[in-house]
Amino acid sequence: MPRSNSRNNESTYQTGQNLLDSYEFYTGKDSEGSGGYVTYVDEEVGRELGVVGERGGSLYLGSKMMNESRASVRLEGLQRYSNGLFLLRLLHAPTGCGSWPAWWLTDESSWPVSGEIDIFESVNSQTRAKTALHTTEGCEMKDAPRGEFTGEWDTAIGIPDKKTGLPRETSKLATNCYVYDPDQWLNQGCVVQSDTEGTVGPGFNEKGGGMYALEWDPGYGRIRTWAWKEGEIPEEVIDAYNGGDVDTDEWGLPYGLFPIGEDSDCPSGHFRNMRIVFNLAFCGTVAGNRFGLDCPAEKEKYGTCEKFVSNDSNVEEAYWLIEGMRVWQRQFVEHQ
């Protein structure tokens, strides 16, 4: 975070088994809203199936076909946050047709009242990182200063007309974080996409992974996100990850910027009491609905997303390899 006498310089670092100890395993089917073709398993079953393990000190999280769906992993953090700087280093990120991985913050027991921040989310074989915010009514990003971030706002295209029910020919920028905005897709939220190819997907993994950062700072009135491929990570970021000094204003412009707080169109109280989640889903309401669009050859051959991912060899690139994560928090009380 920017230099400030009120910032807590101390951080927590999670890696390997230490990372697992900071989370609990959610077990069971995916949520109804996501509808993923997965059954989440606990650590014991995950290790038996080979979908949880360590590789060279890094944490491996994968999946395997089991009965009528894919056995996979969903980790939910034990700690709650209302601000923070989160820096994640991946050696490999899940990708490929049918895959739907995410690294995000949520309070599902109070969703969307307490908000949701999707820091990393990849669908099928997408190649550019995205960040999405999901809230109750009254949080918009139309005032985000264009010169202070490099990404592009996602669009809402083909929304059905309220009178005719036919898809509208016009589109709008997805700058309303309200999950039920009638002029955007249901639960689309406000979404910004990186301007850099290879910040997710095959190109990211071919470089040996990279780093993602979220700065959630109500005190400074902003949420910002960065994504870097290996070999393009600023030295200042690497130093911070290794426990050195932190000044996010030296990290270069973020690809995502979401103004929050008193001087914005989004009160900072829309985001609070959230915990970190890592999960690996397949198909469902996003990757499944986009399967034919993103993966036409696979759609033609297999017919459905579920049939495609039921073959383990088709999803060999869909796994996490997490080197570690460092988290900082501010000590002062945030502005409301």
**Is 116 labeled as catalytic in the residue annotation?**
yes
Locate tokens 């820096």: which residue? 87
Tokens of 307: 């049939």
- What is the C-alpha to C-alpha distance for residues 220 and 2, in angstroms, rounded to an integer? 9
- What is the C-alpha to C-alpha distance for residues 325 and 77, in angstroms, rounded to an integer? 12
Give the CB-side neighbour count of residue 73, counting CA atoms within 13 A: 29
- What is the C-alpha to C-alpha distance for residues 2 and 286, in angstroms, rounded to an integer? 36
Q: CA 36 from chain center: how many Å? A: 16
Catalytic residue among 121, 140, 306, 323: 121
Query: Hey, how many other C-beta atoms are within 10 angstroms of the C-beta on 239?
Result: 14
The helix/strand/coil state of 109 is: helix
- Please tell me what DSSP assigns to residue 110: G
Catalytic residue among 68, 116, 215, 232: 116
- What is the C-alpha to C-alpha distance for residues 64 and 86, in angstroms, rounded to an integer? 29
The helix/strand/coil state of 6 is: coil
**Is 232 labeled as catalytic in the residue annotation?**
no
Catalytically active residues are 116, 121
